[in-house]
Structure 1
Amino acid sequence: MPKTVERTRKAIAKKKGPIDSLHQYSRDSKRLHRAQVRDEKLEKIAAARRKKDQPYIERTAFFQEALKQNNGEPLSIDVIQELIKTYVRQYDEELDEIKKARRPGQPAKAKEDLLKVKIALLQKEYQNGFLLPVLDTQENAALVQKWEGSWSYLTIFKWARIRSDGTVKPASFPPKGDR
């Protein structure tokens, strides 16, 4: 959380006393305004970053749950492939329900379009190489199982891209657009 406004307010109060009596166009009021705008901008950037990072957190949580169901033991490539297919197909039921609820002849709703795009992106990523933590080694499986849900801890894992044809290629995290 940005705290520029609080620091600026404290500095002005230390210099001048109570802040209640600042003139509208004074240097200090402009300084407070700049600090407030900066805080809002930083919060907006942080929110966008969290939104962008959320799919990787959800993905890791999905595979962490699969490891827990396997008692923390590493998974074979066949099991990992099935889990990826399950993950890619997770929105199919919701999309079918939305399609059934829509009257004939009515255009698709925004939620339906978003789900179609999300499913298409997941399928394309699976074709080109699905990014996930390495789950077939004991040490990485133990790390994934200990993961508490934070973004910073994700960089500790070894990552791989698994294609639909079964090829496994080591990858770096966070992804840099190399698919």
Structure 2
Amino acid sequence: MPSTLEKTRKQISKKRNGVINALHEKSRDSFRLHKASVRDQRLDKLAAARNKKEQPIAERVKFFQKALKRSRSEVLDLTTVQDEIHKFIQQYVKEHDSLKKSRRPGRPASTREDLLKNKIAALQAEYDQGFAVPDVINAEGASILSSGEDPLSEETTTPSDEGEVEVATIPWSKVTTIPWIKVTRAGQARPADFPTKGLN
């Protein structure tokens, strides 16, 4: 999709018979170019912030989509969902432990190590209160997740060498339609809203 700056540059170039490099510093055309450039920068910043907020949700959806594909069943029971939540948290624990082991004795923790430690603590606290997951214990949510082979996506579902299941990417418009639940460590599940404020 062409940016505002490119469109504006093209319009000015057409108006000036293809010559755009001889603009006066305070001319209307240079102000138009500056305004278009600032708008593009603002939109890029907003898109980056949105992607940063959506990334944890997409990771969680993909993780539970893989779990559903691995189980080869239509829905997951509550104990399986709790096991998958434990695996989800453990992936960060393993990464944190490997960073801790690779650090030389007496050296302070790296930024990544501190971030992982905070993330693990936040995930554990969320699990105590109610861990937000796509609703894979009911047929409605599970069917949306298992129908990941979307014609708009480029990936297809294929088993990899390690026995892991690769899943098709679900478009964001479809991710927002998935019903969500909150599962506690005590084994309770309750319906939840889509996590619009993001996740840990």
Q: Does 1:162 align with 2:163?
A: no
User: If the length of structure 1 is used for normalisation, what is the TM-score?
Assistant: 0.90
Query: What is aligned with 1:64?
Result: 65
Task: Give the drift of 1:61.
Answer: 0.5
Matches within 5 A, 1:1-179: 3-18=3-18, 19-147=20-148, 148-176=169-197
Letter in 2 for 1:75: L
Q: CA-atom RMSD, angstroms?
A: 1.7
Which letter does structure 2 place at the counterpart of 1:155? T
- Name the % identity: 49
Contact preservation (8 Å) 1:72, 1:142? no
Deviation at 1:72, TM superposition (A): 4.1
Structure 1 residue 7 displacement after superposition = 2.1
Structure 1 contact 72–141 (Cα < 8 Å) conserved: no
Matches of 1:154 and 1:174, distance apart in 2 = 11
Query: How far, CA to CA, are the matches of 1:77 and 1:114 in structure 2?
Result: 30
Q: Give, in whole Å, the separation in 2 of the partners of 1:149 and 1:122.
A: 24
CA drift at 1:103? 2.5
Further displaced range: 39-48 or 7-16: 7-16
Greater shift, 12-21 or 81-90, is seen at 12-21
The separation in 1 between residues aligned to 2:48 and 2:170, in whole angstroms, is 17
Q: 1:56 to 1:175 in 2, by over 3 A?
A: same
Mapped contact 1:67–1:141 kept (Cα < 8 A): yes
Question: What is the SS of the residue equivalent to 1:5?
Answer: helix
What's the secondary structure of 1:90's corresponding residue? helix
Unaligned runs of 5+ in 2: 149-168
Q: TM-score, normalised by structure 2?
A: 0.81
1:165 to 1:42, Cα distance in 2 relative to 1, 3 A = same
Query: Greater share of helix residues, 1 or 2?
Result: 1
Rounded to whole Å, the distance in 1 between the matches of 2:65 and 2:87 is: 14
